[in-house]
Amino acid sequence: MNIEVGAVRVQSGIPAKADMIARAEALLPVLRERSADAEKNRRLSDETVADFRAAGFPKILQPKRFGGYELGPDTAVEVIRTIATACGSSGWVTNLFVIHNWQVSLFPMQAQEDYWDGSDDRLCSTVSFATKSEMTEVDGGARLTGRWKFSSGCDFADWFLIMKPSPTCFDWILIPRSDVTIEDDWFVSGLSGTGSKDLILDNVFVPAHRRVSGMDVAMGTTPGAKALGIPMGRLPFAWPAVWGIPAALIGMAAGMAEVVRKTLIGKKGLFTGELQVERVANQIRLTEALTDIHAAELIMRYRMDELGRWAQAGGPPAPIDAFASHRDAAYVSRKMGEVASKLSLMAGATSVYLGNPIQRFKRDIDVGVTHVSLVWEEAAENYGRALWDLPPKGRG
């Protein structure tokens, strides 16, 4: 069966990496048109999510056993980066739809069967930050009550992953939509279109098979990974997963730089009348921004190549290599925040109008770099400790 995605005819079967990137590129014009409405409505449109499903983005890392493509994170980050050049929120949610269907593949097989239930088309959202939570162990499983924040893309999710079910438990728990109440408190300064609302659970029973050990996740020894035998599953989840958000931030910065470049064409200095594109300062600033973005892309692609080799080998050559990858993810993200600030100053006062995508890119990047997985000081400290063979700092 063939379907249309943007200007690309999508054929059934397992696509190549280049095919997935082409599908993403085909959607860019319509995603640019929808970006203001996504921000206004504080969620992506039904049409955008339907386009993502038709393009097969959620299937990039999805196991072939359940109708997925089982491609690598190198394909995922390129698609995420591409989508984010048009709409930051769309790139952010694309990342999560992709990564979540891989997360499910780490659960026991019975949980995966529950999740897919005869379909190859499912979407999942996650939460890990609880304002309050309580988990009680009972016969056959556990009961879970609480409130969690930042469930990006929750309006479209069939299932939810609770990644920190209680203050003392870091296991993952899989919950069907029927057991969840969504409360809309998503009134924010950036990434508004992600619709990252609160989840509320009230004494929800979770059978034991819909739970996976946080230690297994951290060590790459999950039951799903063992059952499916996908090489990437042998790695600790965080190693590939941490790169989805930097990929989106790189795309946002690239999209912002292109809008700034076009904005300055034909524009003159207010007092001098000099064409902005003739100003040496602007030529240097834009060159610096694009060089930083290109360098970030090269770092990301180098790390994706390494992850592929590590997956085949069952782990990195030395523990410090894993810390270096996380260090680079945090560094790239911080650098894109700096690039956005410089581009915003370069664009001038007219860029602050809400109808101008420059300001939206800037706010989306400002919010994206605050993600807990990308705290530069933590990543740098753990890498620094590894240089002297000290153990990493634990997370409470």
Length of the chain measured in residues: 396
Confidence of residue 46 (pLDDT cuts 50, 70, 90): very high
Inter-residue contact 143 to 107 (CB < 8 Å): no
CATH top-level class of 2-116:
mainly alpha
Query: From the CB of residue 312, how many other CB atoms can be counted at a distance below 10 Å?
Result: 10
pLDDT tens for each residue of 69-121: 999 999 999 999 999 999 999 999 999 999 999 999 999 999 999 999 999 99
**Is a pLDDT exceeding 70 seen at residue 354?**
yes
| Average pLDDT of the chain to the nearest whole number | 95
- Give the start-to-end residue ranges of the domains of the chain: 2-116, 124-216, 242-387
Confidence of residue 12 (pLDDT cuts 50, 70, 90): low
DSSP class of 317: S
pLDDT at 158: 98
Query: From the CB of residue 104, how many other CB atoms can be counted at a distance below 10 Å?
Result: 24
pLDDT tens for each residue of 180-211: 999 999 999 999 999 999 999 999 999 999 99
Strands 8-11 and 2-5: antiparallel
pLDDT tens for each residue of 220-229: 999 999 999 9
**Is a pLDDT exceeding 80 seen at residue 2?**
no
Is domain 124-216 classified as CATH 2.130.10.10? no
What would the mean pLDDT of 253-268 be, rounded to a whole number?
95
C-alpha 189: how far from its chain's center?
A: 18
CA distance 145 to 124: 20
Inter-residue contact 327 to 380 (CB < 8 Å): yes
pLDDT at 273: 86
Q: Which two structure tokens, joined as six digits, stand for 14?
A: 């397992």
Dihedral (CA of 287, 289, 294, 296) sign: positive
Q: Which has the closest alpha carbon to 108: 172, 162, 201?
A: 172
Up-side HSE of residue 396: CA atoms within 13 Å toward CB? Answer: 0
Confidence of residue 319 (pLDDT cuts 50, 70, 90): confident
Query: Are domains 2-116 and 124-216 of this chain identical in fold?
Result: no
**Is a pLDDT exceeding 80 seen at residue 7?**
no
pLDDT at 18: 98
Is domain 242-387 classified as CATH 1.20.140.10? yes
What would the mean pLDDT of 261-283 be, rounded to a whole number?
91
